[in-house]
Amino acid sequence: MAAIIPPYPQGRNLLAGKTVVVTAAAGTGIGFAAAKRAAEEGARVLISDFHERRLGEAADRIAAEVGCERPATVVCDVTSQDQVDALHAAALAQLGHVDVLINNAGLGGEVDVVDMTDDQWFRVLDVTLNSVFRMSRAFLPAMYERGSGAVVTMPRCSAGGRRRGRRITPRPRPGSWPSPAARRSKRQSTTCGSTPSRPRSQCTPFWPR
């Protein structure tokens, strides 16, 4: 039975006047799709990735397909705090402020879990987990100061590698961050929020394959 692809929704300026930063947005995956959608909804967008050439190509493609101004680009290795801080500074310089941060960087295991070395596993954690901490730590203070903002984090279900030819995919649970205790703090009187997104089908060029 052939896959049924839903019609692509048209933009309705839901993010008009907003600014959005997306990590790991080069290529044809979720990061690119999120950045493109934000632009379609009227946001000013800054995209970041480790791959400079692909990052530039992604920005050119978004501008051509959406008919918007070319998204700003910043090359960033999210495992480096210095580069994360530089990304934040560039976002403020080019966008003025950041309304939405989308943490999309992630790395899956490339070997059987029983063959994975500590260094390989720590690399997975550094890109997939620690980067969320670094990015949020860099961007949240300005959001708290402005009294508004949102952080969206794309959970990675396949970071555990493979076992006997099958990918280990723990089931993520919906949740929110900060903790209930933190939400009761004075800082949480603002409208800043951060919520992990729930994995679901995503229209990409790979859908029909």
- Domain assignment present for 8: no
- Domain assignment present for 117: yes
Q: What are phi and psi of 200, to 5 degrees?
A: -160, 175
Note the pLDDT of residue 112.
Answer: 86
pLDDT band at 27 (very low <50, low <70, confident <90, very high): confident
Short-list 128, 124, 197, CA closest to 161: 124
Q: Which residue has the higher pLDDT, 162 or 100?
A: 100
Predicted confidence (pLDDT) at residue 189 exceeds the cutoff of 90: no
pLDDT band at 166 (very low <50, low <70, confident <90, very high): very low
Query: Range with the lowest mean pLDDT among 127-131, 170-174, 180-184?
Result: 170-174
Predicted confidence (pLDDT) at residue 44 exceeds the cutoff of 90: yes
Query: Range with the lowest mean pLDDT among 2-6, 46-50, 72-76, 173-177?
Result: 173-177
- Domain assignment present for 10: no
Note the pLDDT of residue 162.
Answer: 45
Q: Model pTM greater than 0.95?
A: no
Predicted confidence (pLDDT) at residue 85 exceeds the cutoff of 90: yes
CATH of residue 104's domain is 3.40.50.720
- Percent of the chain past pLDDT 70, that is, above it, reads 73
What is the per-residue DSSP string for 140-179?
A: HHHHHHHT--EEEE---S-TT-EETTEE--PPP----BS-
* pLDDT tens, position by position, 93-147: 999 999 999 999 998 877 888 999 999 999 999 999 999 999 999 999 999 999 9
- Domain assignment present for 30: yes
Predicted confidence (pLDDT) at residue 30 exceeds the cutoff of 90: yes
Number of domains in the chain: 1
Predicted confidence (pLDDT) at residue 3 exceeds the cutoff of 90: no
- Domain assignment present for 101: yes
* pLDDT tens, position by position, 103-113: 999 988 778 88
Predicted confidence (pLDDT) at residue 204 exceeds the cutoff of 60: no
- Domain assignment present for 39: yes
Q: Which residue has the higher pLDDT, 117 or 183?
A: 117
Structural domain harbouring 161: 19-196
- Domain assignment present for 6: no
What is the per-residue DSSP string for 39-81?
A: HHTT-EEEEEES-HHHHHHHHHHHHHHHTSPPPEEEE--TT-H
Q: Which residue has the higher pLDDT, 188 or 27?
A: 27
- Domain assignment present for 3: no
Tokens of 11: 């933009």
